[in-house]
Amino acid sequence: MTAERARGGLWAVVPAAGHGARFGGDVPKQYLDVAGAPLLAHTLRALLAHPAVEGAVVVLAADDAHWPGWHECAGKPLLTCVGGATRADSVLAGLAALPESVRADDFVLVHDAARPNLALADLERLLERGRNDPVGAILATPVRDTLKRAGDDGGIDATPSRERLWRALTPQLFRRLQLTRALEAAQRDGVAVTDESMAMERQGHRPLLVEGSADNLKVTTPSDLAYFAYLRSA
């Protein structure tokens, strides 16, 4: 691979086909307004702000009634496709919908629609280190709180060590075909992977952990949305 190709354009897959059961409400959280724009717009702007990111495939629910029909963001193309019942289904659909110009061994970013607060410096760090790794990399942040394992009665069963524990974030950066095969293998095995790295680890890979900001939050509940709105207002 030439140096130019290695540093060439990257595409992203943005899984946005969830229904926000934990968030509640009638409007899927990715379409709720914060600081004058839908959450998904904040996510896409942050992702496409990096000059190396060429475009994104946004994966929508089959019954999505809120997609505004955007064709571009930050002057870069947006494509859409229909996702599936699981995150892995949606990411696989997004990988299949990438332009033909994205080759099998090209790196691809996967970034949650529900993570609107991606910092450019974190994305740059992920690309700089991840594109020099044989497998790829994920943004993550070290666990800084003491962890507790809850018992059925709500009492504390254990205090597991937080030593060397990190919280996985997104974007996650992997090669298109390798990730596709890893996700397909997890599906064949009936394993519900909660992120792309888990599928790659099942194949024996050890993706790089690249530290990112704990403020790269995933909007899961209304309090997360309120926190993001505060961050945008600060």
Ligand X SMILES: C[C@](O)(CO)[C@H](O)COP(=O)(O)O
Ligand Y SMILES: Nc1ccn([C@@H]2O[C@H](COP(=O)(O)OP(=O)(O)OP(=O)(O)O)[C@@H](O)[C@H]2O)c(=O)n1
- By beta carbon distance, the residue nearest ligand Y is 18
- Rounded distance, CA 67 to CA 61, Å? 10
Binding site for ligand Y (CB under 6 A): 15-23, 30, 59, 83-87, 90, 112-114, 218, 220
- By beta carbon distance, the residue nearest ligand X is 195
Nearest distance from C-beta of residue 114 to ligand X, angstroms: 7
Counting residues that bind ligand X (by CB under 6 A) gives: 8
Question: Using CB distances below 5 to 8 A depending on partner kind, what does residue 17 bind out of ligand Y, ligand X, none?
Answer: ligand Y
Q: Please identify, using beta-carbon distances, which residue of 98 and 219 lies nearer to ligand X.
A: 219
Question: Using CB distances below 5 to 8 A depending on partner kind, what does residue 86 bind out of ligand X, ligand Y, none?
Answer: ligand Y
* Among candidate residues 159, 157, 125, 156, the one with its CA nearest the CA of residue 140: 125
Q: Please identify, using beta-carbon distances, which residue of 25 and 160 lies nearer to ligand Y.
A: 25
Task: Tell me if residue 78 falls in helix, strand or coil.
Answer: strand
- Measured CA angle at 79 (ends 187, 112), to 5 deg: 55
Residues 6+ away with beta carbon under 8 Å from 135: 174, 175, 178, 200, 205, 206, 207, 208
Task: Tell me if residue 79 falls in helix, strand or coil.
Answer: strand
Judged by the rule CB under 6 A, the positions of this chain that interact with ligand X are 87, 112, 168-170, 194-195, 218
